Every structure is written in C-alpha cells, then in structure tokens.
Amino acid sequence: MPGCETSERVVIAVERIVLLGLMGAGKSTVGPRLARRLGWRYVDLDREIERRAGQRVAEIFAGRGEAYFRLLETACTVALAGCRQAVLAPGGGWIATPGNLARLGPGSFRIWLQVGPDEALARLAGSPEARPLLAAADPLAAATRLLEEREPLYRQAELAVATGGRTPAEVVHEIVEHLRERGLAAAREV
Ligand code: S3P
C-alpha cells in the first residue's frame, strides 16, 4: 500500500530525565547539579522510598527483603507518573523491574552514567549509605555481575556518558551540551 514504508519523524518533548547506572555511577551527585542547571527539580527515589517507609533502604532490605523494596520502588515510580521538568535518580536496579520506565509515562530521557565496577566501589567507599547488594564476600564480583545483568538495559538509554576519572561538573557539562544540541527534544522514527 502506498505510504506504508514511509517513516514519519515524531518529536517527543523531553519531560523528565532519568539517570541510570550502577551504584556509585554518580547519579546522586550529578542529578542535583544537572537539575539546578536546567532549573528543574531533583528527585532521588531511594530518599523518597525512605521518607514514605520511615526506614533506610538497608533496613528495608534487611527486614522485608529485596522483593519488598522493589514493590516500594515501583509504588514510588507510580507516584511520579507524568512528572515534568524533573531529574530523577532511581537506584541502579530500578530499570530491571519490568514496566517501571513505562510507568513514568512518555517523555522520559534516559541518561546512562557509565562506570566500571572497580571505580564504582572506590567511590562508594566514602559513602555513608549501605548498599545491601554489595555487602558480599567479594563486592567486586557482585558489582561486576550486577553490571553484566543490567548493561543491556542501561544501553537502551538515549544518552550514555562516561564518568570514569571525570568530575561531576564535567559530566553535567557534557549532558547539558548534548541536550542543547538536541533542543531538549528527543526524536524517534515510527
Ligand atoms: C540498588 C541501588 C541502590 C539502592 C539499593 C539497590 C541496586 O541505589 O536502590 O541498594 O539494585 O543497584 P544507588 O544506585 O543509588 O546506589
């Protein structure tokens, strides 16, 4: 049928930015800075989960297990559905729950903050926040395995930014330049 093979360019406005990446990738350092630059609000999903549950993430894992934590994470995502002008920093495993991305609604622009497992662990060494999934006999092996499992999902991000050996300011600069070039709109073929 004439016209069936033609592809139409649809421009979807970027309503929100979702930062993806392994624990220690820099989501919670880059996120607030990026939000400030854009004049958007910043939402750290783990902090939001803690606020609603009245418990730290590590306490939720210890008391109710990871599956329960994932339910809270999804509930928090539902509460953010359709949010606009927001930089969201969910935990590194958020993207692995089927449907979480769709729950936010159209217009999510994913940015993968890339980091190697060894650098991620080095950064986390100074963090006051416990990471239950890395509290293993061999944290490097645990981080490596998580990255291997999640990389196919992280890879689907609209933008990937290498963070190794770079300051948060440099990472934010690269993201802002990229968004500027795109005119804050992501285009896809349908
Ligand atoms: C997790 C990452 C953590 C937190 C929880 C589980 C994960 O957040 O949500 O410990 O599955 O990778 P950060 O990525 O902000 O450290």
What is the phi-psi region of residue 93: left when phi exceeds 0, alpha when psi lies from -120 to 50, beta otherwise?
alpha
Q: Under a CB-based contact definition with an 8 Å cutoff, are residues 45 and 76 in contact? A: yes
The pLDDT of residue 190 is 34
Q: How far is the CA of 126 from the centre of ligand 1 (A)?
A: 16
pLDDT tens track for 4-60: 555 666 666 899 999 999 999 999 999 999 999 999 999 999 999 999 999 999 999
46-51-52 Cα angle (round to 5): 100
> Contact, 120 vs 62, CB < 8 A?
no
User: In the predicted model, what is the mean pLDDT of the chain?
Assistant: 92
Q: Is the CB of 26 under 6 A from ligand 1?
A: no
Q: Please give the distance, rounded to the nearest whole angstrom, from the Cα atom of residue 12 to the centre of ligand 1.
A: 29
Q: What does the block give as tokens for 114?
A: 């890339």
Q: How far is it, in rounded angstroms, from Cα 188 to Cα 190?
A: 7
Confidence band, pLDDT 50/70/90 cuts, at residue 187: very low
pLDDT at 5: 56
Contact present, 60 and 132 (Cβ < 8 Å): no
The alpha carbon of 181 and the centre of ligand 1 are apart by a number of angstroms equal to 31
Q: Which of 94, 131, 134, 149 to mutate to test the pocket of ligand 1 (most atoms within 8 A of CB)?
A: 131
